Structures are given as structure tokens and as C-alpha cells.
Chain A
Amino acid sequence: DIQMTQSPSTLSASVGDRVTITCRASQSISSWLAWYQQKAGKAPSLLIYKASSLENGVPSRFSGSGSGTEFTLTISSLQPDDFATYYCQQYNAYPVSFGQGTKLEIK
């Protein structure tokens, strides 16, 4: 099974900051990686698929990069609505697996 590890687990930042979250896979997953945002009490929503493709309707301040085993999600200028938990997901093979999550908090 492929293990996904995110870092950091918690990130404190301010509105306007540029932030980066890292996700590492235990083996190569090519570009079969997605990023999701989840707000408290809500379902996750898709931000990025295939490592770097922006889902329709997602603001352009979100971007993804990487391939193989190392990936990043970058938010170029944090907005108040961005404070949430972020998960990476590999869909290279079953079982599908998620990272443990990164909680983005207001500093």
C-alpha cells in the first residue's frame, strides 16, 4: 500500500502570506495526486488534480506541483476563506490513500 505523508501537520499564517504544504508518497505515483480543502463540519472539496491541474472554479492563488514522490500545494496570498484543513490523495493505485491532513490556522 502507498503511504502519504504531509508536512507540516499544522501551519500558522496570516492573511496575505504565501504558504506551501508538502506531501510525500512512499513510492512513485507519477502525477496521480489530488489536493482537497475541508472546512469544519463540511465535506472535502477538490482543489487540484493530476498534481498541478486546477479544478474548475478554484481560485488561481492555489497551485500544485511535483511528480513521483514529492508534491507541494502553494497558496500564493492567503485569504480569510482559506483557513481550513488540506489533504493530499494518491490515486495511482488501490487502495486510494490520503495524507493525514494539514490544518492551516490564523496566526
Chain B
Amino acid sequence: QVQLVESGGGVVQPGRSLRLSCAASGFAFSDYAIYWVRQAPGKGLEWVAVISYHGYNNNYAASVKGRFTISRDNFRDTVYLQMSSLRAEDTAVYYCARDRCSGGSCQLNSFDIWGQGTMVTVSS
């Protein structure tokens, strides 16, 4: 079964760090770019970051650039989101999602598989 499963969320104080994981199964993980998207309580969707299929390219939303780092381990079929200097406005459900296109010829795409999300609460 093709799926993504996030983990690592929780309650953290402002200024602290947290690492989220996104574990993939059921597909050729190393062929796909992976995205992180977040949703604050009662709000809409906000794209956070992306990492290319091989892990050499990434991109970030301005709101997290310099604080969040995306990485991947293609042997463990897992993507990570290292979040530091967390702020109250980072409170959200964090989803990982798969690019709809596979392989090196793909450009930016829609997201065809989503995980169930993991909640991050930044509060003192």
C-alpha cells in the first residue's frame, strides 16, 4: 500500500527545536520529490519545504527559511524536517506529501499522496 506516515510532533517551547519524520512505503521512494505542507488550526494549507528525489535540491517558504531544514535518507525511505527557533505561529498540523511525478525529468508538480499529519504545538 502506497503511504506516507509522519511522526515526531508534540508540544515544544518557543525557541526550541523539533524533528519531524515522514516514512514512506509501497513505492520507489528514491524516485520522488517530497514536500512538507502545514495547516494551522482552523486555517488553510501552507507549503513549507520540498526536497528533490536525490536530495541535492531543496526549497523553503520564506516563513521558515533559515530555521527549518529538510533532508532525506533514501536507504531508510524517510524524509526529515528539522525545525529550530520555533515560534507560536509554527503551531500546525504538518503533512508530508509526494510529488505526482517520478524521476529526474520532473519539475514542480501537484501532490498525489499525503500522510495523515502530525501536530506541532509551540507554547510555553
B81 to chain A, nearest CB (A): 16
Query: Which residues 54-82 of B sit at the A interface, judged by CB distance below 8 A?
Result: 59, 61-62
Minimum CB–CB distance from A12 to chain B (whole Å) comes to 19
Does B123 reach chain A (CB closer than 8 Å)? no
Task: Give the contacting residue for B108; candidates A94, A98, A100; CB below 8 A.
Answer: A94
Interface string of A24-57 (1 = CB under 8 A from B): 0000000010101010001111100110000100
Interface size, B (range): 20 to 34
Residue in A42, A46, A92, A99 whose beta carbon sits within 8 Å of that of B112 in the complex: A46
Find chain B residues with CB under 8 A from A101 CB: 44-45
Q: Please determine whether B110 and A43 come into contact, CB atoms closer than 8 angstroms.
A: no
A13 touches B (CB below 8 Å): no
Tell me the dominant secondary structure on chain B's binding face.
strand
Q: How large is the interface on A (under 10, 10 to 19, 20 to 34, 35 or more residues)?
A: 20 to 34
Would you call A96 an interface residue if the criterion is a C-beta within 8 Å of the partner chain's C-beta atoms?
Answer: yes
A98 & B114 in contact (Cβ 8 Å cutoff): no
B62 and A100 within 8 A (CB): no
Distance in angstroms between the alpha carbons of A25 and B46 in the assembled complex? 16
The reply to whether B114 and A96 form a contact with Cβ atoms under 8 Å apart is no
Complex CA–CA separation, A46 to B45 (angstroms): 13
| Complex: A92 Cα to B47 Cα, angstroms | 14
List residues of A whose CB falls within 8 A of some B CB: 32, 34, 36, 38, 42-46, 49-50, 55, 87, 89, 91-101
